[in-house]
Amino acid sequence: MRSIGGVPIAALTLVALLPLACADEVEPDAEAMSSDGGEMQARLDQFAPVTLGFDESLLDADQRRVVKELVEASRHLDDIFRLQAWGGNADAEALLPTGDDSESAATREYYRIMYGPWDRLTGEEPFIEGAGHKPHGAGFYPDDMTREEFEEWIAANPGDEEAFKSETTLIQRTGDGGLVAVPYREAYTGHLEAASENLLAAAERANNPSLKRFLELRAGALLSDDFYDSEVAWMRLSDNLIEPTLGPYENYEDQLFGYKISYESFIGLKDPVESERLASLVENLPALEAALPIPDEHKYLDRSFESPISVVTLIYAGGETAAGIQTIAFNLPNDPRVREGEGSKKVMLRNVIDAKFETNLKPIAEQVLVPEQSAKISVDPYFTRVLMHELAHGLGPDYVTGQPDLTTRQALKDRYAAMEEAKADAVGTNSLRILTRSGVYDEAFLEEVYIDHVADMFRCVRFGITEAHGLGCLTQFNFLRDRGAITYDESTGLFAADLEVIPVAIAEMAHVYLMMQATGDYDGAGAFIEEYGTISPEMQGALDRLAETVPVDIRPSYAVEELMADW
C-alpha cells in the first residue's frame, strides 16, 4: 500500500534530508496555471513539471548497468500496466490527435499521464471524444461484463472461483460468450519475458549478494506469477545502494471487485544513514499495535513487526504508480503471508516528498487554513506523518476475525483500497499522539501534525474521489467536521483544526476503519462512504480557489533516461 540512530524524527533537520537539488523546477508557475490556453493545456497545467535527478557519481560502472537494466525492465512493466488500465490502450493511435498544434500535443501528453482517455482527477470523464464510458474493471475484465455475470458464472462453475478471484489473472470472453481466467504470465508473455531477461542481466552485474538473489528470484516470478520467494528476498535486501521494487502490487485500478493487482516499478538510490536514523520508530510498533483503539481479539500482537525503512532518492518509476498522481512513499509487500513472517518495508521517496511539499501542500495550507495555523506548516511533520502512514499499513487486521482464510482485502473488495488508505492516515496520526505521550515527540510537534493532517486532506481530495486516496481523505474530512474537529469560518472561507477535539475524533475515526476490516463489513463500508463521501459546498469553494493557482500534483521527468545513453 502507499500514501503516501536513536534520534527522534522530530529532532532531525529534514530540510537536510530532502534537498531541493534532488527536484529541480519545483516552484508552481502561477502564470501558467491561470493562462488563457486551450482546455487540454489547462488540464496539463494542473501538474507542475519536476525533473528528478540524482548524484551519478554514487554509481560505479557495474551499478550503472544494473540501473539501466532495471529501467528497461520497468518500461516493459509500464507497457503491461497500460493494457491493465484499459485494453483499448493497445490501439491508442486510433484515438489520439496527430496535429502539430499545442492542443493536440497537450492531449497526447495528458493521455500519457492518465494512461488512457479518462481524466483520473474527475473519475470517468473522457477528455477525448469517442472514448465512451470508462470500464470499472479496467483492462482486467471484458468491458461489457457486469458484477452479476461474474458472480453467476462462479455460482454455476464453482471450480473456477479460485482462478477467477486470483490477483494475477485476467477474465476474458471465450468464443462462445463464456468466461475464462488467463494468468498474467500468459496474457503478457512478451513483456514479461523481456523484463525477466533485463532482471537477469542486472543480476549478473550486481555485486551485492542480496540484490543479486532478489533480481534472480523476481526474474523467475515474472514468468510464474508466484512472487512469494522473491518478496521474502526483497524484504531481506541489505547493504544495498540500489533499491528496486518491481512487480504487481496494488488493486486500486480494479474498481469492479478490487481483486486484480497492477504492475508498477520504483528504482531508487538508498540513503543508508538517514534510513538507519529513522529506523528507531520500528521499535515502537508492538506497543502501537497493542494500543490500537479496537478490542484485543482483533489485534495481531504476535505478528512480525520487522519493518525496515528505506529513505531513497527516486530515479525512475513506471506502471500503476505513475498514473496521474505520483506516489510519495509506500509500504510493501501486501501479501499477508510475507508480512506475518518478514514484516513489511517502508520506502520513503524523499525527493518526491520534497517536491510535493513545495508545489502542493505548502501553498494549499496558505489558502485553506486560518493564518495562525497555515504558518505552522513545515516539512518535518509532513515527512513524519507520511512515514507513520506507511507504518500504519502494517498495523491492524490482515484477516477477518474468525475467518483465517478471508483477507480484509477480499472481504471489502472494491471498497478496501479507500478504507485502507484512510485507516493508515487515522492510525498513523493517532500513533503519533501515543508516541508523544511516551516522550518521542513534544506537544508543539504534535499540534503541527494535526494541522498538517487537515491541510493534506485537501491535497489528496484533489486527486479525485474515485481514486482510493482521494475518497479516503474525503471520508476522513467529513467525519472530522461532523465531530467538530475541523471548524469553518463562513466570513473568510477558511478552515481550522480544533486542537482540543481532533485527538479524540481521530482515535474514534481509527476505530471505525479498523473495525470495518476486522469484521469484513462490506455493507458497512458502503454505508460509511455513502454518508461521508460527498464534497460539501464549503470544501468545494476551497477546492475551486486552489484550482486557480495551485497545481494538483507534479509531472516528473527522470534525468536517468538521458544519462543511460552513455552507460
Alpha-carbon distance 274 to 7, whole Å? 11
Dihedrals φ, ψ of 401, to 5°?
-55, 130
Q: Tally the C-alpha atoms within 13 A of residue 59's C-alpha that lie toward its C-beta.
A: 23
Q: What does the pLDDT read at residue 3?
A: 55
Q: What does the pLDDT read at residue 536?
A: 97
Which stretches of the chain score pLDDT less than 50? Answer: 4-36
Q: Tally the C-alpha atoms within 13 A of residue 389's C-alpha that lie toward its C-beta.
A: 27
Q: What does the pLDDT read at residue 1?
A: 65
Positive or negative, the CA dihedral 384, 386, 389, 394 is: negative
Q: Identity (one letter) of the amino acid at 288?
A: L
Count the helix, strand and coil residues of the chain and give each as a percent rounded to the nearest 5: 55, 15, 30
> Rg for the chain (alpha carbons), in Å?
23
Residue 489, Cα to own-chain centre: how many angstroms? 32
Closest CA to 198 of 291, 77, 27, 294: 77
At 410-444, the pLDDT tens digits run: 999 999 999 999 999 999 999 999 999 999 999 99
Q: What does the pLDDT read at residue 2?
A: 53
Q: What does the pLDDT read at residue 344?
A: 87
Closest CA to 210 of 283, 348, 279, 310: 310
Q: What does the pLDDT read at residue 25?
A: 41
Residues paired with 94 in a beta bridge? none
Q: What does the pLDDT read at residue 455?
A: 96
Dihedrals φ, ψ of 332, to 5°?
-140, 165
Q: What does the pLDDT read at residue 12?
A: 28
H or E segment and range at residue 39 = helix 39-44
Residue 225, Ramachandran bin (φ over 0: left; ψ between -120 and 50: alpha; else beta) = left
Q: What does the pLDDT read at residue 20?
A: 30
Closest CA to 263 of 273, 276, 253: 253
The C-alpha angle with vertex 465 and arms to 520 and 424, in degrees rounded to 5, equals 50
Q: What does the pLDDT read at residue 380?
A: 85
Asked if residues 70 and 244 have their Cβ atoms less than 8 Å apart, the reply is: yes
Q: What does the pLDDT read at residue 406?
A: 94
Q: Where are the alpha helices (DSSP H) in 53-117?
A: 61-85, 102-114
Going by DSSP bridges, is the β-strand pair 309-319/263-270 parallel, antiparallel, or unpaired? antiparallel
Alpha-carbon distance 461 to 455, whole Å? 10
